[in-house]
Amino acid sequence: MAISPASKSIQSSTATIKVSLRDRWWWAPLALLFKGVIRIRHWIYDIGLKRSKKGALPAIVLGNITVGGTGKTPHVMALLQALSESNPNRRWAILSRGYGRSTKGYLEVDKEGSPEEFGDEPLELARKFPKVQVSVSEDRLAGIQAIHDQGHADAVILDDGFQHRRLSPAYSIVLVDATQPVDRDYFLPRGRLRDLNERLQAAQAIIITRCPDALTKGDLRLWRHRLHMKSDQLLLHSGTMVEGLRDLRTKRYAGWPRKCIAVSGIAHPTQFEASLARNCKVTRHFSYSDHHIFKPEEVEEWRTALAGDAMAEAIITTEKDAARLRSMSLPEDLKVLVMGMQVKWWDEDALHALLTSIDKQVEASAPVSDI
């Protein structure tokens, strides 16, 4: 049977994407129970037994329907940069739940603070954008109200929050990892899904992340079909590229060593290692769970490994992990470099359409002044 050119194109462009799909079938009964609870929760909101409310400021939500990293925080950074450049007069704030923090309630993130107080991702955002107000609050409506009352922002970007049905956002963007096929995944704890696949249709835009190359029109049509997207939903796709290395302490740019030891506590350590391997040889990788709190004895283990490897010149970690490491007292002789990554938008026209669409919705949702 002949294969169409479009099909060949799809096969060739997706061949380099390593698909990761786990099926822990023994958890199937609990997965069905969890799915039922989620479905009932959405039904309660859909029929109006509970009501969603608009925030005090227009809210742009970036979220996903799976657990694990789809790249929300890097995309918050990339989107904020693009929105600020397209409309320099609009003041943005960032609101996060602050996953992993030991505190409660609404807090403004101090870039000199600790992950225990604010969470590692909000801290990373505050250090990346020192002129933007970054806050944490488990109650998104209360958090947006607090940002509004301070009068420092015109609109808010939420790092996660797609499942927070109490909030009716001005615009929703869902990220789908190209290496994790949500249309063939299972609910927790059997798989990675934490929300219904049909909830993708509640978003105004979907971004396919971790694409190693630009997708063809045929690829994009296939994704629209797989995700059951509506005709008026925007579809974008993005990849990541290495920004370079910086010294953890001085934050100055550093050259690539010939060999290194990798340290990470993220959702996708293999992708981090693959990015490193394109620039230097990784002799060992200390990999921990996502949001792992590093311990002094673990740091000592890295130090011993670095001293025992005559060829390895430095420890290299991620920006997310660096937020946790900076709050520790590291040995002076331990050379730690941080690998920066940035989002690569593969379709500038689609990005422009997204920025225009967001701008219109923010204008329409902006609070009316009493003056």
Encode pLDDT of 7-64 as tens digits: 333 333 343 566 666 678 999 999 999 999 999 999 999 999 999 999 999 999 999 9
The pLDDT, as a whole number, for residue 19 is: 64
Q: How many structural domains is the chain composed of?
A: 2
- Split at pLDDT 50, 70, 90, the class of 70 is confident
The pLDDT, as a whole number, for residue 12 is: 35
Does residue 17 lie within any of the structural domains?
Answer: no
Q: Tell me the mean pLDDT in the region 286-299.
A: 94
Does residue 39 lie within any of the structural domains?
Answer: yes
Is the Cβ–Cβ distance between 346 and 219 less than 8 Å? no
The CATH number of whichever domain residue 37 belongs to comes to 3.40.50
Instruction: Tell me the Cα Rg of the chain.
Output: 21
Structure confidence by residue, pLDDT tens digits, 187-218? 999 999 999 999 999 999 999 999 999 999 99
Same domain, 172 and 73: yes
Does residue 24 lie within any of the structural domains?
Answer: no
Q: Which residues form the domain of 359?
A: 33-241+344-364
The pLDDT, as a whole number, for residue 18 is: 62
Whether the per-residue pLDDT at 282 is higher than 90: the answer is: yes
Same domain, 64 and 147: yes
Q: Tell me the mean pLDDT in the region 279-286.
A: 96
Q: Which of 206, 186, 227, 171 is nearest to 38 (CA)?
A: 186
Same domain, 208 and 253: no
Whether the per-residue pLDDT at 250 is higher than 90: the answer is: yes
pTM for the full predicted model: 0.90
Same domain, 225 and 256: no
Structure confidence by residue, pLDDT tens digits, 158-177? 999 899 999 999 999 999 99
Could you tell me which residues come within 8 angstroms of residue 356 by beta carbon, excluding any fewer than 6 positions away? Answer: none
Same domain, 162 and 192: yes
Does residue 66 lie within any of the structural domains?
Answer: yes
Same domain, 117 and 265: no
What is the 8-class DSSP label of residue 154? S
**Cα-based distances in Å from 132 to 36, 135, 150:** 40, 10, 13
